[in-house]
Amino acid sequence: MPETLKIVIPIAIAVIAVLVVILLGYVKAPPDQAYIISGLKKESKVLIGRAGIRVPIFERLDKLYLGQMTVDIKTEQSVPTSDFINVNVDAVAKVRISPLPEGIKLAAKNFLNKKPDEITRDLQDSLQGNMREIIGTLSLKEINTDRDSFSDQVMQKASKDMDKLGIEILSCNIQNVTDENGLIKDLGADNTSLIKKNAAIAKAQADRDIAIAQAEAERESNEARVQADTQIAQKQTELEIRRAELKILADGKKAEADAAYEIQSQEQRKSIETATVNAEIAKTQREAELRQAEVEVQKQKLEADIRAKADAERYRQQQEAEADLFKRQKDAEAARYEQEQKAEAERKIAEAQKFAKEQEAEGIAAVGKAEAEAIRAKALAEAEGIDKKAEAMKKYGEAAVIEMVMQALPEIAKYVAQPLSKVDKITMYGEGNSAKLLEDIINGTTQVTEGITQGMGIDVKALVAGMLGGRLAGGTDQAIIIQNPAGQAGQAPAAPGGQEPGAEEPLN
């Protein structure tokens, strides 16, 4: 463990030392400055717009400004030109330290860690000297008339000296040129007089040309005016002649128009009178048609009333006939059913007697005889029950059928509505509601009763209507007695205020 600490501690110290060096020596140069790191290496490291590491204590950091600087170049004393005229010149130069490595190296030797103002003061003397040398090679007129050439010569002359300092001249502009004796102003006055003279001559020539042009214009205008007046007189004469011709034509047309207007007026009056007569005739015809239509409507209404009464009477007779026919059919069916049941009972009695005789003939003892008697008694009871049922069916034909139908109707309605019991949820739209649902169930039950009418020939509605009509006509409460297949008597509930249970009363 101690050996591990001996290895780790030096490594940790080294790492911490490196981090301290990095934190203390980290530098980042802006784009307008050059950071020069020197000390350990022979060549200095230059940082422009990027970051770097400076080893504390062993390396140093110096700064060099690379931005644009303005140098005011002004001659403090008059400088004679090539034509021996003393002038004062005021100019401005834009310079900067060359971004090339060689330029930075030269500038670092002269302007390291200096502010821009200090650099411009160092360059001002050199640039002023170069400008004074160029002024001595030019005349006053050349300096004033060709200032671009003058500034270019100053830049070209000064660039040689600036390159030695690592400085780059961007531009040089001549602001003002003056002289001690006012010659520049006199030259301007001479030029002004010459310009005025030339302007006066030009003005006189222009006035002359204007006067000539005006006279020519007046002459041409006079000729044009005379010609125009002549043409106007001719046109007026032609206009008067044309007016007279047009008046003659207008009078003739007016006379024709007056005659045509009178004729047209008469035609229109005739047309109006004809239209009035036609309108009266049409009105009379329309009134006659209207009265005829009213008679036809009354006739149709009367026919409809008579037809409706006849249809009602025919429907009543048809219903009565159908009820009478249904009753006769049921009576016939009951009679036939009674005969069939009697025949069946007699057949069974005969068979029982035959069986008894056969048993007696074969010598079977009292057991066989008792069985024969039991069979005979059962047959007789069945025959008697069938006979009573047939008699009841005959006696209570319509009432029995109605009772059976009435007992079956709840079951019919139950099976009609049974599919709805399996429905979890019913959503109705429009007219859908509980009344509509009940109506659908009743319609289903009605379809079943109509099916009974079509399949069996039994008009349930006619039977019920006939029974109710008969009861209302009789004015009495009745009870219907129906013998079930087991031979027991079942009865419909008696009406309120009716008879005791079990009492029988014949049907009407």
- Tens of pLDDT, residues 366-382: 555 666 677 677 767 77
Domain boundary among 181, 198, 223: 181
In this prediction, residue 84 carries a pLDDT of: 84
pLDDT of residue 367: 57
The span from the CA of 441 to the CA of 419, in Å, is 11
The continuous run of DSSP H or E covering 480 comes out as none
pLDDT (0 to 100) of residue 70: 92
Predicted pLDDT at 96? 92
Residue 150 lies in a domain: yes
Burial-class residue 396 by CB neighbours within 10 Å (0-12, 13-18, 19+). Answer: buried
The reply to whether 133 falls in a domain is yes
The answer on 163 and 96 residing in a single domain is yes
Average pLDDT of the chain to the nearest whole number: 76
Query: Residue 82 has what pLDDT?
Result: 84
**Is 88 found in the same domain as 131?**
yes
- Phi, psi (deg, nearest 5) at residue 482: -130, 130
SS3 383: helix
Question: 395: pLDDT confidence band, cut at 50, 70 and 90?
Answer: low
CATH number at residue 160: 3.30.479.30
Rounded to an integer, the average pLDDT of 189-198 is 64
The CB density around residue 45, as the number of other CB atoms within 10 Å, is 16
Position 502 pLDDT exceeds 70: no
pLDDT score recorded for residue 2: 64
Domain total for the chain? 3
pLDDT tens, residue by residue, 283-310: 888 888 888 888 888 888 888 888 888 8
User: Is residue 38 located within the same domain as residue 75?
Assistant: no
Looking at the fold, whether 99 and 11 belong to one and the same domain comes out as: no
Say if residue 36 is in the same domain as residue 107. Answer: no
Q: Does residue 70 share a domain with residue 47?
A: no
How confident is the model at residue 93, as a pLDDT?
92
User: What are the φ/ψ torsions at residue 120 (nearest 5 degrees)?
Assistant: -65, -35
How far apart CA 224 and CA 218 sit, in angstroms, is: 10
Confidence of residue 95 (pLDDT cuts 50, 70, 90): very high
pLDDT reading at 252 higher than 80: yes
Mean pLDDT of 381-394: 65
Structure tokens at 419: 């599919």
Residues 426 and 478 in one domain: yes
Q: Do residues 101 and 128 share a domain?
A: yes
Residue 480 inside a domain? The answer is: yes
CA distances from 167 to 62, 96, 277 (A): 18, 6, 122
Is residue 77 one of the residues assigned to a domain? yes
Q: Is 194 a domain residue?
A: no
Strand, helix or coil for residue 32:
coil
Domain end among 64, 85, 110: 64
* Sheet architecture: strand order including 33-38: 45-48, 33-38, 60-65
- The domain containing residue 455 runs over which residues? 398-484
The tens digit of pLDDT for each residue in 125-165 reads 888 888 888 888 888 888 877 788 888 888 888 888 898 88
Tell me: do 439 and 403 sit in the same domain: yes
Query: 22 and 97 share a domain?
Result: no
Is the residue at 282 inside a domain?
A: no
Partners of 176 in beta bridges: 90
Confidence of residue 364 (pLDDT cuts 50, 70, 90): low
388 has a pLDDT exceeding 60 = yes
pLDDT of 198 over the 80 cut:
no
Q: In this predicted structure, what is the pLDDT of residue 490?
A: 40
Residue 416 has pLDDT above 60, yes or no: no
| pTM of the entire predicted model | 0.35
Q: Which DSSP letter does residue 495 get?
A: P
* Same structural domain, 17 and 120: no
Residue 281 has pLDDT above 60, yes or no: yes
In this structure, of 58-62, 131-135, 253-257, 420-424, the range with the lowest mean pLDDT score is: 420-424
**What pLDDT is recorded for position 239?**
87
Sequence-distant (6+) residues with CB within 8 A of 200 are none
**34, 64, 94: which is the final residue of a domain?**
64
Task: State how far the Cα of 49 lies from the Cα of 26, in Å rounded to an integer.
Answer: 14
pLDDT tier for residue 26 given thresholds of 50, 70 and 90: confident
pLDDT value of position 271 = 84
The answer on 170 and 76 residing in a single domain is yes
Per-residue model confidence (pLDDT) at position 505: 38
